[in-house]
Amino acid sequence: MRLTVSELLDAVGQDLGVSDWLTVEQQRVDAFAEATGDDQWIHVDPERAREGPFGQTIAHGYLLLSLLPKLLRETFEITDRRLAVNYGSDRIRFTSPVAVGSRVRLHARLAHAETRGEGVLATLAVELQVEGADKPAFVGEILTLVFSTAAERV
């Protein structure tokens, strides 16, 4: 879907789309563990993880959450966006583990939008789907403050 910043205000409730599938690879999990210091064995030790509760390594929940910018760009476009600022998140729940090697994709819906200064504060309901799974990896809302190229510089 393609929208302008001002069109966000009238698009509340609309489905914004679904991203492409992305394979969660061990290399990405290991790089995230290195960057964050979260090197728990359920994420980075495939041999030990085979004997663990999930039978193999699983992705970090925060790694999956950090994929939002990439997956959102595949889901919809704000055609006159000059700047988008992460404003926070609400009600994020990690509902199902994601085994390394699984494919995930993002589904997004515009839950709320309001004028905030020269921009629009958009609340997106997001769900990270796991191919072949009954439950999503996570659900929740993210808030993004978006400014148009037509808006005064902040």
User: Which pair of tokens denotes residue 81?
Assistant: 């966006």
How many structural domains comprise the chain?
1
Task: Find the CATH number of the domain harbouring 82.
Answer: 3.10.129.10
Residue 154 resides in a domain: no
pLDDT in tens, the chain (154 residues): 999 999 999 999 999 999 999 999 999 999 999 999 999 999 999 999 999 999 999 999 999 999 999 999 999 999 999 999 999 999 999 999 999 999 999 999 999 999 999 999 999 999 999 999 999 999 999 999 999 998 654 4
Q: What span, in angstroms and rounded, lies between the C-alpha atoms of 109 and 153?
A: 28
* Element of type H or E holding 140: strand 138-148
Residue 75 resides in a domain: yes
Residue 55 resides in a domain: no
Q: Residue 99: which residues within 8 A CB-CB, separation 6 or more?
A: 54, 55, 56, 57, 58, 59
Q: What span, in angstroms and rounded, lies between the C-alpha atoms of 94 and 89?
A: 13
Residue 36 resides in a domain: no
Residue 54 resides in a domain: no
Residue 62 resides in a domain: no
User: Domain span at residue 143?
Assistant: 2-22+68-148
Residue 85 resides in a domain: yes
* Element of type H or E holding 63: helix 61-66
pLDDT for the residue numbered 150? 81
Residue 114 resides in a domain: yes
